[in-house]
């Protein structure tokens, strides 16, 4: 399963299609042919990232303990909830910076971006959910959202300030992020998954109050 995941990671990065790379962790070999069809240029999944007015990105590496919280939240959303048609929820793995860069350059931008990620804050308890401002991101985590060549350029901030996109970050306090491969969330962080989904659904419902059609017009003309 993990070898399959790594192979797809390489293929997607070469083709600059990176936002589904960790979803192969949830498919078996019999489904791989169908998965490859989704990677094709012009697939509905790719189009959703650049046409949905509201985007939810689950960040992290499922192979390293609680760092897989973001992808787990996205998986839970898809399995247990029905998202509105104007919302796209994606497991972006560790390639969020590439995707944000494409959104910065794209004439089509969303009106809302929600980031779900795990952080290490010694003042908080494992499994604790909290919202962070962009400027509150720890230095080590802020690099994930920066240009590779210009680490001081935070693309979340650029999308918010230059493109007028509402950016919100939901974080969980990690209990364990090992240095070696060790997949699986700790019990405290696993218990926070459903709460994170409720938080996201509440904020999506609030965003819906301005109307999906109006929001889509704003996103397409932004």
- Contact yes or no for 190/129 (Cβ under 8 A): no
> Are β-strands 54-59 and 112-119 bridged in parallel, bridged antiparallel, or unpaired?
parallel
**Which has more pLDDT, 6 or 122?**
122
Looking at the predicted structure, is the pLDDT value of residue 36 above 60?
no
Looking at the predicted structure, is the pLDDT value of residue 21 above 50?
no
H/E stretch holding 171 reads: strand 166-173
Residue 156's contacts (CB-CB under 8 Å, 6 or more residues apart) are 100, 113, 115, 134, 145, 167, 169
Identify whether 140 is part of a domain. Answer: yes
Identify whether 74 is part of a domain. Answer: yes
Q: Look up the pTM and report it.
A: 0.76
The CATH number of the domain where 104 resides is what? 3.40.50.1450
Identify whether 32 is part of a domain. Answer: no
φ, ψ (nearest 5 deg) of residue 135: -70, -10
Identify whether 115 is part of a domain. Answer: yes
Q: How many domains does the chain have?
A: 1
- pLDDT tens-digit series, residues 80-131: 999 999 999 999 888 888 889 888 888 889 999 999 999 999 999 999 999 9
Which residue range forms the structural domain that includes residue 89? 54-217
Identify whether 64 is part of a domain. Answer: yes
Looking at the predicted structure, is the pLDDT value of residue 172 above 60?
yes
Q: Please calculate the CA angle 167-26-90 and round it to the nearest 5 degrees.
A: 15
């Amino acid at each position: 399963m993990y070898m399959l995941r790594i192979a797809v990671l390489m293929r997607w990065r070469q083709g600059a299609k990176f936002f589904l790379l960790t979803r192969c962790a949830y498919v078996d070999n019999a489904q791989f042919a169908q998965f490859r069809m989704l990677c094709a240029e012009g697939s509905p999944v790719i189009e959703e990232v650049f046409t949905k007015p509201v985007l939810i990105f689950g960040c992290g590496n499922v192979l390293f303990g609680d760092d897989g919280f973001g992808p787990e939240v996205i998986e839970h959303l898809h399995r247990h909830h029905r998202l509105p048609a104007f919302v796209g929820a994606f497991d972006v793995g560790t390639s969020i910076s590439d995707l944000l860069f494409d959104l910065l350059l794209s004439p089509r931008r969303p009106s809302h971006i929600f980031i779900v990620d795990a952080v290490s804050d010694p003042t908080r308890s494992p499994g604790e959910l909290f919202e962070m401002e962009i400027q509150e991101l720890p230095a080590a985590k802020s690099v994930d959202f920066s240009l590779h060549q210009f680490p001081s350029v935070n693309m979340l901030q650029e999308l918010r300030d230059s493109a007028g996109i509402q950016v919100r970050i939901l974080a969980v306090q990690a209990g364990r992020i090992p240095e070696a491969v060790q997949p699986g969330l700790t019990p405290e962080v696993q218990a926070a998954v459903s709460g994170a989904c409720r938080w996201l659904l509440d904020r999506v419902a609030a965003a819906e109050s301005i109307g999906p059609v109006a929001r889509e017009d704003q996103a397409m003309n932004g």
